[in-house]
């Protein structure tokens, strides 16, 4: 239920988000984000709805630590990133991250100015995200991870039927379902699994297309909605059509909010 956002747990509480705005550079323990929802009524009984919340993934990271007896980041590196040779996927556990490009959050950025890097450091400490997406990557390794994930190389392939099944997730788009940690979309051809990503100054989208078994990823160093006029899913689909030498399809319209 946590992986599929069927827990009924809502998004981070207002007090926690306000604390990020007041002191973006200060460290914020992921547990603060979990605690911010403790006094909030469930959105629905567990298992009887869908609502996306990073808190679900943060709770899973705590569960993983309790079960394995090892820090979540260390376990993820040893079990997944190392064996799959994804050396450019790294924990975002500090403000100064080697190789991170400048990100532009737009003039409405609540965490300060438009630039997310000042003197090589993020103006918003990313450590609070942790299990809820606390990694940096590049498109190559992101696409490779998505292919490994969907083709059963990242874990026991016997889990794939559960990965590929999930409840309706209209919150994320029409005809979208949410499997075990992935969007399940039905684009103009075939089936696609993947995810979007957002951090102030940065936007990401990755998809694995089932029929041709091709994974594509795109990353932008902006989260300014005024600059995101085309849905990133459409950009990936255009790339796939070019690879397969298929004709262009009409655009789907305005950009959807990134997730």
pLDDT in tens, 179-232: 999 999 876 767 899 999 999 999 999 999 999 999 999 999 999 988 888 889
Q: Which helix (H) or strand (E) holds 177?
A: strand 177-178
Give the three-state DSSP class for 216: strand
The DSSP annotation for 122-159 comes to ESS-GGGTGGGT-EE--HHHHHHHHHHHHTTSSS-GGG
Contacts 24+ apart (CB under 8 A), 115-122: 115/201, 116/200, 116/201, 116/202, 117/201, 120/96, 121/25, 121/95, 121/96, 122/95, 122/96, 122/97
The answer, yes or no, to whether residue 50 has pLDDT greater than 70, is yes
Q: Are 144 and 84 in contact (CB under 8 A)?
A: yes
Q: pLDDT class for 113, splitting at 50, 70, 90?
A: confident
Give the three-state DSSP class for 48: coil
d(CA 196, CA 233): 9
d(CA 42, CA 69): 29
Contacts 24+ apart (CB under 8 A), 177-184: 178/4, 178/5, 178/50, 178/52, 179/4, 180/3, 180/4, 181/3, 182/149, 182/150
Instruction: Please state which of the ranges 39-43, 222-226, 245-249 shows the lowest mean pLDDT.
Output: 245-249
Q: Are 176 and 192 in contact (CB under 8 A)?
A: no
Apex 174 CA angle, 223 and 237, nearest 5: 60
> 14-243 sits in which CATH class?
alpha beta
Mean pLDDT of all residues in 10-14: 95
User: Chain centroid to CA 212: how far?
Assistant: 23
């Amino acid at each position: 239920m946590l992986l599929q956002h069927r827990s009924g747990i809502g998004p981070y509480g207002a007090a926690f988000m306000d604390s990020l705005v007041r002191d973006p550079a200060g460290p914020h323990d992921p547990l603060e984000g979990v605690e911010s929802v403790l006094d909030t009524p469930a959105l629905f009984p567990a298992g009887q709805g869908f609502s996306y919340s990073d808190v679900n993934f943060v709770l899973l990271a705590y569960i993983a630590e309790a079960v394995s007896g090892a820090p979540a980041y260390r376990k993820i590196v040893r079990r997944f990133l190392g064996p799959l040779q994804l050396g450019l996927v790294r924990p975002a556990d500090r403000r100064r991250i080697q190789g991170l490009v400048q990100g532009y959050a737009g003039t409405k950025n609540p965490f300060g100015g438009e630039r997310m890097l000042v003197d090589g450091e993020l103006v918003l400490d990313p450590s609070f995200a942790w299990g809820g997406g606390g990694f940096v990557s590049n498109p190559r390794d992101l696409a490779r991870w998505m292919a490994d994930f969907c083709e059963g190389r990242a874990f026991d392939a016997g889990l794939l039927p559960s990965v590929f099944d999930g409840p309706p997730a209209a919150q994320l788009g029409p005809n979208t379902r949410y499997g075990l940690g992935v969007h399940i979309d039905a684009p103009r051809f075939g089936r696609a699994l993947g995810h979007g990503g957002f951090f102030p100054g940065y936007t990401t989208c990755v998809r694995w297309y089932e029929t041709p078994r091709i994974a594509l990823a795109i990353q932008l160093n902006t989260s300014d909605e005024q600059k995101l006029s085309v849905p990133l899913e459409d950009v990936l689909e255009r790339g796939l059509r070019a690879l397969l030498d298929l004709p262009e399809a009409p655009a789907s319209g305005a950009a959807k909010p990134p997730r």
